[in-house]
Structure 1
Amino acid sequence: MVEFWYQLPVTAEFDYIMECALKAEELGFDGVTHEDHFWVLGIGSGCRPECWTFLTAVAMKTNLKVAPLVACIPYRYPTLLAKIITTLDRLSKGRVMLIYGAGWWKEESQFFGYKWEPGDVRFERTVEAIRLIERLWTEDEVTFEGKYYTVRNCRLVPRPYQKPRPPIISGGIRFKMRKFAAQHDDGWVYYGEVSEDSIKKFAERKRMMDRYTEGRDFKYGVFMHFRKHHTLEELGRVTEEFINLGAEIIILRLDPHDENLERLDEVAEIINVLRG
């Protein structure tokens, strides 16, 4: 069954963001996502709450599933991130999944005191962290000596609510990230647009990744930016094509952020039609 998720308008005021989450639940969305950014300059600038803190608040106020889109792995040591997600998984009784990436915004990292590393290093660091997090979630005690992270006799107690662990989904764009996801993760989210070109690119990437999944249960998701100039007819048609190609998770971002409450009502009509 296809799940429909909503990207919270995190550049709005806190109360408005939460109101949008409550509205999404009322309209029948399956889950909400939250960007893992500390701030953004220029277009789209705004308050931007801390991702995991706000997702926890949403999970406590609703029955929605929650996920970052995407968690910037270099921002948190893997043991801490595993603990944060486990806590949220326990509090929500299994409504969290990890959608991750390696980070992309150099200035943001430097502004907040993180060392900016080359793309290949961030890739290696990220996949190493994912391997460690998975072990922490599924093994009683972990000793791990990697290139970037080392832990000894680490026990994650309590363990996650979901068994064997919360879903791990990649939001990576580069080929190496997509290949790793296809071989090791539970799914991958494609960053798309409401356009025919975006549909073609998704189909191409899915064909490539299908070669590496080796028949495993693997979910494809699509994130779409529903901009002001798009029509509901376009959204419905493109979404249906993504679903026909195999997308099982549809995530929608609505612009502008201060009109999300009204636009949620509009897109809910399309979603209801697509659900049949």
Structure 2
Amino acid sequence: MSLHLSTVILPHLRWHEGGRAAWTRAEQLGFHAAYTYDHLSWRSFRDGPWFGAVPTLTAAAAATERIRLGTLVTSPNFRHPVTLAKELISLDDVSGGRVTLGIGAGGTGFDATALGQEPWTPRERADRFAEFVTLLDRLLTEDAVSYEGDHYSAHEARNIPGCVQRPRLPFAVAATGPRGLKLAARYGQAWVTTGDPKLYENGTPEQSLRALREQVDRLSDACEAVGRDAASVDKVLLTGFTPDRARPLDSLDAFLDFAGHHQALGFTEIVLHWPIPNTDFAADEKIFEHIAMEAPSHLS
């Protein structure tokens, strides 16, 4: 089973001051996909430049030819399925069918209150997420949709001509809980995890691997419950949030060791953060590029 290597490029650079160069370089390096975060602002980047995900991806689509593009991840925190569907269909068209939608329930960060709302409880986030994914699936596959739910509505929403990718662009569903995994099993062409957040500070790499193995097993159970082969769901690890978060970019050998352990768990794609100096994502750019160019031949 081959393992794809991808990157995530945070939208913190002006397009003509390094932004465009990063996306085109990602394609030159041979990455399978290049993603970006879909937030209004994020953690330590809150007081600096931060650009919108969909316009950034549209510009990236025009500047590249082959690399897949997407979000890791979009959430209901400040999105509505009707308007998001229209943007995604447009982006899929501009890119020639190269878009993957990473989608998750969202959290309690800045996005959760930016529109003036009170933060949702975990249960409300899960309820909204389930309705969000279900409605978005319809909007991206049907020409006209009317819907009245507990949290979202659509009245004769038109989405012609639909996605370039058929029946719609792929969903990569981020989830670790039972309700989210059920959504991944039913609607996801891929499943995304960052590992177990409880292990981030004081966990060990061995504990992280065990936790990830348990997550993969729970996804398999969710797939079995809906009559789906778990092997048909790609399994994506977004790195940078496990106890050994820095180690994969120490050297090519360190990355191959890291990737091999996770490939053995069933992961089909590993996503590395594009290096950003003086942040949690700082890394040696030469080593990063060496990994991008050399690792795929060892992972096939």
TM-score (norm 2): 0.83
**Which residue does 2:257 correspond to in 1?**
237
1:207 to 217, 237, 248: 217
Contact persistence 1:254–1:263 (CA under 8 A): no
**Which residue does 1:131 correspond to in 2?**
134
- AA aligned to 1:66 is L
Kindly state the Cα deviation for residue 113 of structure 1 after the two structures are TM-superposed. 3.0
SS in 2 for 1:81: helix
SS in 2 for 1:102: coil
Contact persistence 1:9–1:17 (CA under 8 A): no
Identity of aligned residues (%): 24
Gaps of 5+ in 2: none
Q: Answer with 262-271 or 14-23: which moved more.
A: 262-271
**Which residue does 2:298 correspond to in 1?**
274
SS in 1 for 2:159: coil
1:82 aligns with 2:85: yes
**Which residue does 2:61 correspond to in 1?**
59
| 1: CA distance, partners of 2:154 / 2:185 | 27
1:33 to 35, 41, 54: 35
**Which residue does 1:72 correspond to in 2?**
75
Kindly state the Cα deviation for residue 196 of structure 1 after the two structures are TM-superposed. 3.3
SS in 1 for 2:163: coil
SS in 2 for 1:37: coil
Kindly state the Cα deviation for residue 152 of structure 1 after the two structures are TM-superposed. 2.4
**Which residue does 2:288 correspond to in 1?**
264
SS in 1 for 2:127: helix
Evaluate the alpha carbon distance shift between residue 99 and residue 43 of structure 1 in structure 2; reply closer, same or farther with a 3 A threshold: closer
**Which residue does 1:50 correspond to in 2?**
52
Q: Answer with 262-271 or 209-218: which moved more.
A: 262-271
| 2: CA distance, partners of 1:72 / 1:269 | 32
Evaluate the alpha carbon distance shift between residue 197 and residue 20 of structure 1 in structure 2; reply closer, same or farther with a 3 A threshold: farther
Contact persistence 1:6–1:29 (CA under 8 A): yes
**Which residue does 2:238 correspond to in 1?**
223
Contact persistence 2:40–2:110 (CA under 8 A): no
**Which residue does 1:8 correspond to in 2?**
9
Q: Please, what is the CA RMSD of the aligned residues?
A: 2.5
Evaluate the alpha carbon distance shift between residue 115 and residue 242 of structure 1 in structure 2; reply closer, same or farther with a 3 A threshold: same
Evaluate the alpha carbon distance shift between residue 21 and residue 98 of structure 1 in structure 2; reply closer, same or farther with a 3 A threshold: same
| 2: CA distance, partners of 1:9 / 1:125 | 26
Contact persistence 1:10–1:46 (CA under 8 A): no
SS in 2 for 1:163: coil
| 1: CA distance, partners of 2:95 / 2:238 | 23
SS in 1 for 2:151: coil
Kindly state the Cα deviation for residue 274 of structure 1 after the two structures are TM-superposed. 2.4
